[in-house]
A and B are shown apart, each in its own frame.
Chain A
Amino acid sequence: DQQVKQNSPSLSVQEGRISILNCDYTNSMFDYFLWYKKYPAEGPTFLISISSIKDKNEDGRFTVFLNKSAKHLSLHIVPSQPGDSAVYFCAASGVGRGSTLGRLYFGRGTQLTVWP
């Protein structure tokens, strides 16, 4: 059973507009959330993270919002650029719980396409 869900397999956005990628989770013990970006035939690269004690974290064009009560997070990219076209993975972790310490649970990913 997937504990981290990305329900939209794909998203298409025009260059310059906002991209919003969504992620839901089921485990209320998760306390750290991350977004990764992946190009074909490459490993994922870290993009941005947020701790459960915050509801927003911003880094340049990228902002992650966390709604703990809804068990939902979103990644906003503003403005979107063609180079942002990639698969975006949402991940969650529950630090400090024995054998699962540090383990990340990944969603299935959302393919973002930014067109000119």
Chain B
Amino acid sequence: DGGITQSPKYLFRKEGQNVTLSCEQNLNHDAMYWYRQDPGQGLRLIYYSQIVNDFQKGDIAEGYSVSREKKESFPLTVTSAQKNPTAFYLCASSSPGGMVYGYTFGSGTRLTVV
């Protein structure tokens, strides 16, 4: 079955540590996205990539980094510079001009800083 896999589902991090969230898709989609969800804030765009080896900052990129070395993979690193990293993180992908159905989302990763 085609889809997006995010792992792990739950992640705990100590303050001051970097952590990487995995996102893999087998939909052959060119574009991939990372969103963060906080209560009452909706979905806020962190980074997005429209092709391999290229990515752009979204609205809240500070304290995060990404790479896009393969079409299928778009990992997100939450660095120690991110002041409030506890949140629900969502990865998504889309095909060019695929606005009829928009994005396909993964099931999310809940990151908690302890």
Contact = CB atoms under 8 A, between A and B. Distances in A.
A16 B8 CA distance: 38
Contacts of A46: 101-104
B2 interface: no
Contacts, number: 66
Interface residues of B, number: 31
A107 B107 contact: no
- Interface bin, chain A: 20 to 34
Contacts of B65: none
Contact of B42 (A45, A95, A106): A106
Nearest to B100: A49
Contacts of B94: 102
B96 A45 contact: no
A42 B108 contact: yes
B40 A34 contact: no
Contact of A43 (B45, B56, B105): B105
A101 B102 contact: no
B107 A34 contact: no
B110 A41 contact: yes
Given A101-B50, A103-B48, A44 B90 contact: yes
Scoring A89, A101, A102 by chain B CB atoms within 10 A of each residue's CB, the highest score goes to A102
A62 interface: no
Interface of B: 4, 6, 31, 33, 35, 40-43, 45, 48, 50, 56, 88, 90, 92, 94, 96-108, 110
Given A43-B108, A45-B105, A95-B97, 19 more contacts: A6-B42, A32-B99, A34-B99, A34-B102, A36-B102, A36-B105, A41-B88, A43-B4, A46-B102, A49-B100, A89-B42, A89-B43, A93-B99, A99-B56, A102-B94, A103-B33, A104-B103, A106-B35, A108-B41
